[in-house]
Amino acid sequence: MSGVTMPELPEVETVRRGLHPVMAGHTIVQADINRPDLRFPLPANMKHRLEGATVLNLRRRSKYLLADLSTGETLLIHLGMSGRILISGQSLGTFYHDHPAPQKHDHVVLHMSNGARITFNDARRFGAMDLFATSASHSLLTDLGPEPLGNDFNETYLTAALASRKTPIKSALLDQHVVAGLGNIYVCEVLFRARIHPARLAAATPAAPLVPLIREVLLEAIAAGGSSLKDYRQTDGELGYFQHRFQVYDRKGQPCPVCATPIERLVQSGRSSFYCPNCQRS
DNA sequence: ACCACTACCTGAAGGC
DNA sequence: TGCCTTCAGGTAGTGG
């Protein structure tokens, strides 16, 4: 588990970039729906609503993948914690992987007109899929905060968003209403770089240094994912889980990379926070 | 409204 | 073919 990331924004973006050439412009010729639900019930008639649809575009909003279809509907995918996407077959002359034998927890399989097969596997079923009109909104998306890599996420916005918060900064940055796409791992890494203790009150935390550090941490992780994309076609075809080195996450007891003080673990809102008690100040 | 806590689910890891 | 407990984490729902 160490060194393997859960699907936060950078992992989902990596999946999107890997899937885009295989899906966009191609048609879903067969959809295998192997169970009625993931975290929520799958949409009614999902198989028939997908089969024959051409994928026009593959977008990302926060940790959600959004595939716009020629039918006027959009397929929403969330990887939850353990969701994985595997590409197999041959597409556009690129060899991905032989079609594997079906695995436990292969819940949805899409067969594309270009010969590629896209398998969604999710052991814990914290993931989700839904279909909704592209012209409409979706309840899972409406209340999300701004994209951290977008222009709407800036010092002015974050200052205002934190000012009313009586919660620790750790909890505030995990709140998808404040900023969309951060998870436990990258919040720990951001606070380490900002030298801010995770228990500091949000309202007492300056937003100015956080905004560029959030962008920096996410962009570095996306870059690491991009480099992993160069290799996955030759290996197992699995998107979204790449090796990435963390400075504090899951490193309890190990030396801080800056001052060598042992990293500590603290539970906040039921989640582990990893931090350097010397570098990160309340 | 805001905030903390828990359920959901499976598999990996560690203690004995 | 060991059993049991604990832990991981995203988010919706619940209750304070």
A178 touches strand C (CB under 7 A): no
CATH no., domain A155-275: 1.10.8.50
At A156-191, the pLDDT tens digits run 999 999 998 989 999 999 999 999 999 999 999 999
Name the catalytic one among A63, A84, A170, A193: A63
In chain A, how many H helices and how many E strands? Answer: 7, 12
Q: Is the pLDDT of residue A92 over 60?
A: no
Phi–psi pair at A118, nearest 5 degrees: -120, 115
The predicted-structure confidence for A232-245, as pLDDT tens digits, reads as follows 665 567 776 666 77
Query: Which residues on adjacent β-strands are paired with residue A94?
Result: A91
Answer whether 0.85 is exceeded by the pTM: yes
**Residue A1's pLDDT band (cuts 50, 70, 90):** very low
Which residue do the tokens 């309340």 mark? A282
Residue A271 bears catalytic tag: yes
SS3 at position A59: strand
Domain boundaries, chain A: 9-133, 155-275
Residue A93: what pLDDT? 60
If you average pLDDT over every residue of chain A, what do you get? 89
Does the C-beta of A82 come within 7 A of strand C?
Answer: yes
CA A159 to chain CA centroid, Å, is 25
Residue A26 tokens, joined = 């191609």
In A206-219, which positions are buried (b, 16+ CB within 10 angstroms) versus exposed (e)?
A: ebeebbebbeebbe
Strand B neighbours (CB under 7 Å) are A 1, 39, 82, 104-105, 123-126, 164-168, 171, 269-270
- Asked about A63 being catalytic, the answer comes back as yes
From A165, A209, A271, A277, the catalytic residue: A271
Query: Ramachandran region of residue A262, left (φ > 0), alpha (ψ -120 to 50) or beta?
Result: beta
A271 strand C contact, CB < 7 Å: yes
Going by CATH, does the domain composed of A9-133 fall within 3.20.190.10? Answer: yes
Of residues A224, A167, A168, the one with CA closest to residue A197: A168
